[in-house]
Structure 1
Amino acid sequence: MEIRKFAERILLSESLEEKLTAATEIFTDQQPGKPLQIKEPTRPANLQFAAPRTAPAMPKPSAFVEQEKRALAHHIMANHELQALEVMAYILCAFPDAPADFRLGMCKIMADEQRHTRMHKERASVLGLEFGSLPVNCYIWKKALSYESILDYLAGLPLTFEGRNLDHTLEFEQYFLDAGDQRSAALMKVVYHDEIQHVAFGLHWLRQLKPDHLSDWETYEQHLHWPVRAALSVGDTFNREGRKQTGMSDEFIEQLYQSAQTDVPPNQKPKSLD
């Protein structure tokens, strides 16, 4: 299957089933096409982006004892994963001249995003909430519209949003365990291990594409678009070991930690897992 065809199917299809159907053919990249810019991905009617501040917020950890709140959490995370998938498809269409190995690697990661979306969608359904029955936000997508280069994308999505998931997935695993929901907890652990590989992919390509005179950290910071910033790649806890597994240097990890320490009020500073 041509990479461009795969990306356009995800980006422009009105069918959620089509968006989440994994490719079964070997990918080719002989027709990457011209750069494509769009304001929003095409979605089914029940998953159109809601007006600002109208989608439900993530429940507090203490509320996870309620089944409907756990279902809501999966509903929200399904939309996060779907947005990430759509952003990746957008990047493939917007930057057709990106290195072929990068584009092929993106397709492999997109298969994970499809699987993650299906996992959260199915778990929400088991818990009593069908995906698309509540309004969904567009935060991740809207931030991607500011990406002007592959380095912008790498800093914004793999190293910040997915980087934050190195903390969030473990936090949510514990929330579900505390609520006695073993299946949801196991789902989060699967996503956690995939996110390590996704962040590693982003870091690898940042190193491949950055100017030689800039460090990893300097490149990362220079390609973030406010209000997205380094501190947003850190959750309520700070998982140093997971970040080491991505290939981040000790210096890069410490700079991330310090950015979160100086960005938030003292009572909200992240706790280290080490």
Structure 2
Amino acid sequence: MPSSATPSVAHAIRAAMLTAEPEAKAMAARAVARDWRAGRLAFAFDVAMPDAPARPDTPQLLPPNAMPKRGRGGSERGRIALLHALCHIEFVAIDLALDAAGRFGAERGPSFVSDWLAVAADEAMHFALLARRLRTLGTFYGDLPAHDGLWDAARETAHDIAARLAVVPMVLEARGLDVTPVTIERFEAAGDLRSARILQRILDDEIRHVRFGTTHFARVCQERGESPPQLWKSLVERHFRGAVKPPFNDSARRSAGLSCEMMAGVA
């Protein structure tokens, strides 16, 4: 059992979220997950999560509708732009997972913290793989603009664990299950097999991340006496600015625990 001198998991999570430099944030997230697994952090929530995580000076953050068009990844320039966008998504996903563990862990328990710190460590590893791949292509994370729309979902759902699970893993990450196979095919067709292998690794991990979301969402629904499909649809309609619509990666979604009812369009 942790002693009274053992630092709290909340304090470690907050420190990682307030680390701005990208590689340092990735290392901090992996360290939090490692220390939690090893019993070096107490299940204690003695500090609040920040309203927003620390961010580096680059990339320049633009509104989503002001982002330059990336093309479809046929040219090397287009592939670099796509890899940079994916690298930024993984960078923000580190903080999304950390925030879930730190913001809702007290109410959801140690297993919830374990799952979302594992996700944070995965996202940190994904970021590192993509950042390294960008460097081999002669560029760096931060060289191109990006948008901060993903963190908007965290702000919108900071009040309710059910809303957070419904929107972040079960909509945003699930969308990655749908689009990543096509992206992999484009990189393979262009002969960029190294990038394709990285994206396949990310896809395999994201199935597990979405499954964490669906599993914990089902538990919350059971506790509240709610129907998972009905609550999911109502929360997505209330908190997600967009539509959930095909094409879907049916097999990946089923593996992640998303039912057919949760694949129906949400206007």
Shift of 1:94: 2.9
**Residue of 76, 80, 85 corresponding to 1:76:** 85
Q: Which residue matches 1:30?
A: 43
Q: What is the aligned partner in structure 2 of residue 146 from structure 1?
A: 156
Q: Structure 1 residue 239: deviation in Å?
A: 1.3
**SS at structure 2 position matched to 1:259:** coil
**CA spacing shift, 1:29–1:56, aligned 2, 3 Å:** farther
The correspondence of residues 142-221 of structure 1 with structure 2, limited to 5 A, is 142-147=152-157, 148-211=159-222, 213-221=225-233
Equivalent residue number for residue 113 of structure 2? 103
Instruction: Give how far 1:137 is off.
Output: 0.6
Partner AA of 1:186 in structure 2: R
**1:258: Cα distance to partner?**
3.3
Specify which of 6, 13, 28 is matched with residue 7 of structure 1: 13
SS in 1 for 2:62: coil
Q: Distance in 1 between matches of 2:105 and 2:204?
A: 29
| Structure 1 residue identity aligned to 2:164 | Y
Residues in 2 aligned to 1:51 and 1:242: alpha-carbon distance in whole angstroms = 30
Distance 1:258 1:210 in 2: 19
Displacement of 1:229: 6.4
* TM-score, length-scaled by structure 2: 0.85
2:62 is equivalent to residue 44 of structure 1: no
Q: 2:10·2:47 contact (CA, 8 Å) conserved in 1?
A: no
The residue type paired with residue 136 of structure 2 is: V
Matched to 1:46, the amino acid is T
CA distance in 1, matches of 2:13, 2:42: 11
In the TM superposition, what is the alpha-carbon distance from 1:224 to its structure 2 partner? Answer: 2.2
Query: How far, CA to CA, are the matches of 2:143 and 2:242 in structure 1?
Result: 33
Shift, 1:85, TM fit: 1.2
TM-score normalised over the length of structure 1: 0.83
Give the Cα–Cα distance (whole angstroms) in 2 for the partners of residues 36 and 8 of structure 1. 6
Distance in 2 (CA, whole Å) between partners of 1:153 and 1:196 is: 17
Name the amino acid aligned to 1:105. D
Structure 2 counterpart of 1:194, which letter? D
1:87 equivalent in structure 2: 96
Q: Contact 1:35 / 1:95 at 8 angstroms: preserved in 2?
A: no
The question of whether the paired residues in 2 share the 8 Å contact of 1:72 and 1:129 is answered with no
Name the aligned partner's letter for residue 32 of structure 1: F
Q: Does 1:244 align with 2:254?
A: yes
Query: What is the aligned-residue RMSD (CA, Å)?
Result: 2.3
Gaps of 5+ in 1: 264-274
Residue type at the aligned position of 2:62: A
| Count of aligned residue pairs for this structure pair | 251
Give, as a single letter, the amino acid of the residue that structure 2 aligns with 1:152.
A
Q: CA deviation digits over 1:187-221, x for unaligned, max 9?
A: 11111110110011001100111145322211212
Kindly state the Cα deviation for residue 4 of structure 1 after the two structures are TM-superposed: 1.8
Contact 1:33 1:96 in 2 (8 A): no
Q: Deviations over 1:12-45 (max 9, x none)?
A: 012222211121432533322243341x321221
The residue aligned with 1:18 is 24
Moved over 4 A (4+): none
Q: Is the 8 A contact 1:51 1:137 kept in 2?
A: yes
AA aligned opposite 1:185: A
Correspondence for 1:259: 265
CA distance in 1, matches of 2:14, 2:146: 22
Letter paired with 1:11: M
